[in-house]
Amino acid sequence: MRNWILAATLSLVAATLPAAHAEAADPAVQQVQTFYDVLLDTMKHAKELGIKGRYEKLKPVIERTFDLPGMARLSVGPSWNTMTPQEQQALTAALERMTVANYASNFNGYDGEKFVVDPTATVRGSYRVVMSKLITGSETISFNYRMRETDGSWKILDIFLMGFVSQMAKQRSDFGSTVQSGGAAALEKKINALADKLMKE
């Protein structure tokens, strides 16, 4: 796999609120496990699926387990509130496309890797943090997921690599100058161009 670490390197640092623990059968934990089950199966069949097949296999589970509108809002930052509903919808769609393409492109093979999800979620205010690890033949990488309840289910709002590197914060930094210079239309074009590049196998 090439640059697979980058597939999940974004998010806001976890809030320092007092932590409590949810039960082992926590629905937020189950959502992360559901995503990993499909991702791992996609990795195992990566070559036969090809980039387009991996994209189509991952898209439904990402839509079910990721809070894509919330991620778009965090990625854009304060400028989000100045945009029209149509611009917000277009950016959300573009971000979804880029997110799915990122996983389809970077998780493009299998060499015995496994994902381990902590069965106990940590409660931080209205959010829950689900901790997990990607174990490879040579290293173990931590991925923590910031979750919130949306439309009746817990969904991923942010991802932390090694417990502190925020995907959403990184994207907001990357997107900031584009929003300032060209607004929503320019950012939508940029995100779709990134997705197009990822989909070239």
Could you please report the per-residue DSSP string of 22-67?
A: --TT-HHHHHHHHHHHHHHHHHHTHHHHHHHHHHHHHHHHHHHHB-
CA distance 69 to 188: 14
- Establish if 10 belongs to a structural domain: no
Q: Which of 123, 134, 141, 122 is nearest to 35 (CA)?
A: 134
- Establish if 93 belongs to a structural domain: yes
Q: What is the pLDDT of residue 166?
A: 93
- Establish if 139 belongs to a structural domain: yes
- Establish if 2 belongs to a structural domain: no
pLDDT in tens, 177-193: 999 999 999 999 999 99
pLDDT in tens, 136-162: 999 999 999 999 999 899 999 999 987
What's the mean pLDDT in 120-143? 94
| Helix spans in the chain (H) | 27-44, 46-65, 68-76, 85-106, 167-198
> For all residues of the chain together, what is the average pLDDT?
88
Banded model confidence at residue 1, pLDDT cuts 50, 70, 90? low
Whether residue 167 has pLDDT greater than 50: yes
CA distance readout (Å), 168 to 6, 13, 68, 99, 164: 13, 10, 11, 12, 12
Q: What is the pTM of this model?
A: 0.86
> How many domains is the chain built from?
1
- Establish if 70 belongs to a structural domain: yes
pLDDT in tens, 5-33: 444 443 333 333 333 344 447 999 999 99
What's the mean pLDDT in 127-143? 94
What's the mean pLDDT in 72-84? 95
- Establish if 12 belongs to a structural domain: no
Give the structural domain span for 101: 23-198
- Establish if 16 belongs to a structural domain: no
125: left (phi over 0), alpha (psi -120 to 50) or beta: left
The proportion of the chain whose per-residue pLDDT surpasses 90, expressed as a percent, equals 82
Q: What is the CATH number of the domain that holds 175?
A: 3.10.450.710
- Establish if 121 belongs to a structural domain: yes
